[in-house]
Amino acid sequence: MHQNWAGNLTYSAREIVRPTSLEQLADVVTAADHVRALGSRHSFNDVADTPGVHVQVDVLDDGRPAVDLLDQDGAENGIVSVNAGLRYGEVSRGLHATGRALGNMASLPHISVAGAVATATHGSGDANQSLSGAVVGLEIMSPGGELRRITRAEHPDVFAGTVVSLGALGVVTRVELTTVPTFSVRQDVAQELPWDDYLDNFDAIMSAAYSVSAFTRWDDPAVRDIWFKSKAGSDGGRVPEVPGARWATTPVHPLPGVDPSACTEQLGVAGPWHERLSHFRLEFTPSAGDEVQSEYLLPRRNVVAAVEAMRRLGPKVAPLLATSEIRTVAGDDLWLSPFDEPSVGFHFTWLPREADVRAVLPDVEAALLPLGARPHWGKVSTVDPRDMAALYPRFGDFRALADRFDPEGRLRGGFVGRLLAG
């Protein structure tokens, strides 16, 4: 029996297999009655669960470099093909060495590429799409052992349905991502900005840097911390212009009172993109995993009403919260992406009291779902999977695609089984 990273979920799979070749992978997926890919186990629900065999592709060798830059002519948007099981921190280090960069990173560099892409996981930034938005191609092994390459250019009819796929189409072995020339970033943290100033100037504040994250526990009298990650040229860049901001003079952690040594460098010290865009350093485990996470993604146009609703819930949710984060994400066209327009994410890092958390989540959802919120695919919510399906206009098309790729339903289990059974 094995568990997810947080330890709040024990998987149902009877074994884990880590094939080292495509041939071994084909043998596993064709022989198993039920099979699903497993990434870095950073999901907090059973979206990756199966009653059969879990497959990890982090040591799979298909004869190509694990980080393979396909376009090395210096083009603005070169393409890199990566082993789907690699963690973003590993990909970013290899890519940076070639002079290229990813346009976005999540808070944790410890998550696997395929797992993050399949669940529409994201970073932050007004102009930055989720990690899934960088995908231009996928190689997927079907339950029948057939390896398919699907690209945006060659398969425009189905590509948008294959990226955020929740693992329901097969085992992804490689992911092709757009890249940009490498760049430097500085990180500055503003503290104790009054809520009125934050909401009155929301657009200006969230666009004041390349990536911006605001932290609160919702009962705070002011926005506790706002992390600004700004592109920095040869001059090292400048502190963003944020009226009323008081800038931190010592490093901080997203969780109040926690040692910030695991965090990426702050205080305006410029460094490579892959050492700043994530909140945490790859070489550190940001916590022991003793937490539960939820997240709700909603249209940016409703942010003021959503913040006001959450502040009214502050006295109820704050005793269960380690911290909560507000981020912006650009829109995309992927069928199961919650970002079909400019969006805001409300992320909740809860104390490891899941029963108590589940008791308060209906209040959070009653406040946010009428404003267009959708739960993150890989985090804890109390929304019925059938109701989640109804939140996506192209879900019927996705169901048909899943039936086509997996007619026997061998890739279905856990949350995905319930989602597609409705």
Cα-Cα-Cα-Cα dihedral sign, residues 249, 254, 256, 262: negative
> From CA 215, how far away is CA 222, in angstroms rounded?
10
Quote the crossing angle between the two packed helices 354-368 and 303-312, to the nearest 10°. 140
> From CA 60, how far away is CA 40, in angstroms rounded?
15
pLDDT digits (tens, 9 = 90+) for 202-212: 999 999 999 99
Query: Per the structure block, which two tokens stand in for 149?
Result: 């390459």
Per-residue confidence of the chain (422 residues) as pLDDT tens digits?
799 999 999 999 999 999 999 999 999 999 999 999 999 999 999 999 999 999 999 999 999 999 999 865 555 669 999 999 999 999 999 999 999 999 999 999 999 999 999 999 999 999 999 999 999 999 999 999 999 999 999 999 999 999 999 999 999 999 999 999 999 999 999 999 999 999 999 999 999 999 999 999 999 999 999 999 999 988 888 999 898 889 999 999 999 989 999 999 999 999 999 999 999 999 987 766 789 999 999 999 999 999 999 999 999 999 999 999 999 999 999 999 999 999 999 999 999 999 999 999 999 999 999 999 999 999 999 999 999 999 999 999 999 999 999 999 999 999 999 999 96
Q: What is the DSSP letter of 221?
A: S
pLDDT digits (tens, 9 = 90+) for 300-309: 999 999 999 9
| Region 184-375: CATH code | 3.30.70.2520
| Region 67-182: CATH code | 3.30.465.10
The CA–CA distances, whole Å, from 289 to 16, 43, 58, 352, 382 equal: 21, 11, 21, 9, 21
Residue 73's pLDDT is what? 52
Give domain limits for the chain. Answer: 67-182, 184-375
DSSP 122-187: ----TTPPPGGGGEEEEEEE-TTS-EEEEETTT-TTTHHHHSS-TT-S-EEEEEEEE-EE--EEEE
